[in-house]
Structure 1
């Protein structure tokens, strides 16, 4: 499979959208009859707060007086606004729900669960900060992002807002953050990697434990607390192998040795620091991987990891991976 990503794959990511049915929380309805839900498409690579304008227009006649403080929930779980919409959907809907039924609130944000969001500006700076973090992982610094001109920064953000892939690629290519490729890799740690050819891939892992072993994925219990999901940032560092490529399975063994068999990962040809204070800890239990999902796709574990990283990453250059894990007691 080609390391470089095809335009068809990129278009799939940029045009991907989730049908949403968003209703106003009953405690905030002031009109009779209550307003109908809003049916709207949410870009996978976008963020829920970017839908505030059409939501306010739709529900304006039913809102109580006061200062808006918009947030969303899914089956009672407040949704983290800085996580891309597609990632939230993949993570929280074990069995895809179409349309995805969400509730919007304009009052009373739960400060103990969510950081405040001041609308588009908050989302923009969250995105820029993630872009800086990704640049630091890839190149060891974020100078290219820090040195972006104001017009380029504006155009980059507008391209993301509008789902304009061509405009986005034109500007983001100047940041020199990829693509990732086999020719970018040194054969060992002593060799120098060209700054324009990174071999460190920014990865965000979302590990959802579904408790006891389940028969079907749709039997997974509803997530009622973010404590049931481990959110981990880890770079994947890769070195050249002879006679093959690094698969998604090999990459996952390196990224999550707490879950996968660490004994078999020693000869997989990749290296990664297994120590992470935010990593999940599983005491006296073996783990069973049920599902790996990226951009709504349930991936084959033998797929080349470079292809996944190049073709399925989000516009902030992070690869978001959702994993469903079933805990099983060890047999004694």
Structure 2
């Protein structure tokens, strides 16, 4: 049992340490020298939120802005025309929009592994920062004090808590000190602060795990039904997604552990007709293709994002 806990702890720490190199350039429409400005370069945690960078970006680009007194709340980021949602963790945004091949399990074919390795030359991930023309129809606007980002994070954590335990009381009953520590751990990306609070949330005394908080993110191009096609035609937002949720229990009715394959087959059988092999699409979490035989409960313990959700990108196979 101790060995199992050690493995879980090491995996969680490894995921926590995951990061991506970013190259953020100022949009030429906001640059007083058109496009002659240095990029902002940073190695940023996969689990963190781009909204925590707004003050640093404002300070870095201030001497290049056409209107230097522009408010920090007018800042927004995009990748190839896609506005990046503040409440999506960086790792999820990258898995959805970068176009890079994810990492494959050890039993994947060598050609796939080689392809994934080759695609890493596309790093750093290139983003564009804007200080005008805020896309209010696609993005919630942040405030300078970070309260909106905090509210979005806490609401997501409450929703995950409700699914896990059938009640949101675990998050709601955190002491003021614990709540502050949780948000500090997110802002500072400090595992020593996050770990103790996360343990309280995942393992409340006297409560059995009821459901696994899973969100699936599907590009609208993967929609196959007439209803989905109609929704797609109405939604002209670049990079628009269909977000799918369902009640996923830790075990099947047969008392066998719920796996990634059984859960995906239950939620979107049109894309995952097999419970054992990915035939049409792959489930990607933290940049890696999930083995369909993986236990969803085990994954929750080691691979949930900081808000308690497993945010899984569904990527169509070539």
TM-score w.r.t. length of structure 1: 0.75
Q: Deviations over 1:108-133 (max 9, x none)?
A: 21112112122522211111000110
Pick the aligned partner of 1:91 from 93, 96, 109: 96
Question: Take 1:57 and 1:133, find their aligned partners in 2: how far apart are those partners?
Answer: 34
Contact between 2:250 and 2:297, CA under 8 Å: does it hold in 1?
no
Question: Take 1:22 and 1:98, find their aligned partners in 2: how far apart are those partners?
Answer: 12
Residues 1:33 and 1:109: Cα distance change in structure 2 (over 3 Å): closer
Structure 1 stretch displaced more, 65-74 or 235-244: 235-244
Pick the aligned partner of 1:44 from 35, 38, 46: 46
Q: Aligned residue for 1:174?
A: 200
Q: Aligned residue for 1:130?
A: 156
After superposition, residues 84-233 of structure 1 pair within 5 angstroms as 84-95=89-100, 97-119=122-144, 120-175=146-201, 177-178=202-203, 195-208=206-219, 225-226=237-238, 228-233=240-245
Pick the aligned partner of 1:16 from 9, 15, 18: 18
Tell me how many residue pairs correspond in the alignment: 279
Structure 1 stretch displaced more, 202-211 or 87-96: 202-211
Q: Aligned residue for 2:306?
A: 315
Contact between 1:3 and 1:307, CA under 8 Å: does it hold in 2?
no
Q: Deviations over 1:88-109 (max 9, x none)?
A: 0011123154100000112221
Q: Aligned residue for 1:26?
A: 28
Q: List gaps (5 residues or longer) in structure 2.
A: 102-121, 224-235
Residues 1:309 and 1:317: Cα distance change in structure 2 (over 3 Å): same
Higher helix share: 2
Q: Tell me the secondary structure at the aligned position of residue 122 of structure 1.
A: helix
Question: Take 2:174 and 2:308, find their aligned partners in 1: how far apart are those partners?
Answer: 16
Question: Take 2:255 and 2:169, find their aligned partners in 1: how far apart are those partners?
Answer: 36
Higher strand share: 1
Q: Tell me the secondary structure at the aligned position of residue 141 of structure 1.
A: coil
| CA deviation after TM superposition for structure 1 residue 310, in Å | 1.7
Q: Tell me the secondary structure at the aligned position of residue 308 of structure 2.
A: coil
Q: Aligned residue for 1:254?
A: 266
Contact between 2:178 and 2:197, CA under 8 Å: does it hold in 1?
yes
Question: For the aligned residues, what is the CA RMSD?
Answer: 2.9
Question: Take 2:94 and 2:256, find their aligned partners in 1: how far apart are those partners?
Answer: 34
Question: Take 1:67 and 1:51, find their aligned partners in 2: how far apart are those partners?
Answer: 14
